[in-house]
Amino acid sequence: MQPATAKWYDRREYVFIEFCVEDSKDVKVNFEKSKFGFSCLGGLDNIKHQNEIDLFEAIDQNESKHKRTDRSVLCCLRKAESGKSWPRLTKQKEKINWLSVDFNNWKDWEDDSDEELSNFDRFSEMMNNMGGEDDLPEVDGADDDESADSDDEKMPDLE
């Protein structure tokens, strides 16, 4: 039995853990208030994987779920207290060799504010209200075919 390699990332209401086990079978996920368990058989050799985590904070085990694909098992843990950042997944500060941060999905959502979102909405609306190409002013010589650049000359053949 060995632990499965996993990556995790934090969001406002959820914490996501992806167990990287290809062709997993007999997947069992156990959501408890402050503990999380995962086990499965994986790969062509049917290696038994088992992971157990004492979580940094409490979760809502009834709202937490998981999804199995051919390449991994993604677990979505609903935070008991949404809006609170998790600086790490585990209660202990020690490094766990099978667990890493999923930097491809990591986002500093704490810095997001409603004001920034409304600024983005106003910017998007402004961009949508701007005219298209038909509204551009005439520029002298922009469409003249006679004003060819030196780049437009035919290049000599390579020897």
For the chain, percent of residues with pLDDT exceeding 90:
53
Distance CA 98, CA 19 (A): 10
pLDDT at 52: 94
pLDDT in tens, 97-106: 999 999 888 7
pLDDT digits (tens, 9 = 90+) for 16-58: 999 999 999 999 999 999 999 999 999 888 999 999 999 999 9
Structure tokens at 130: 């701007």
The model's pLDDT over 51-90, given as tens digits with 9 standing for 90+, comes to: 999 999 999 999 999 999 989 999 999 999 988 899 999 9
Say which residue, 99 or 119, is predicted with more confidence: 99
Q: Going from the N-terminus, what domains does the chain have, and what CATH number goes with each?
A: 6-102 (2.60.40.790)
The backbone region for 98, taken as left when phi is positive above 0, alpha when psi lies in -120 to 50, beta otherwise, is alpha
Q: What are the distances in angstroms from CA 74 to CA 21, 62, 88?
A: 10, 16, 18
Please tell me the pTM assigned to this model: 0.67
Phi/psi zone of residue 126: left (φ > 0), alpha (ψ -120 to 50 degrees), beta? Answer: alpha
- For the segment 145-152, the average pLDDT, to the nearest whole number, is 58
pLDDT at 155: 76
Q: How confident is the model at residue 158 (pLDDT cuts 50, 70, 90)?
A: confident
CB count within 10 Å of CB 6 equals 23
Q: Which two tokens stand for residue 48?
A: 């038994």
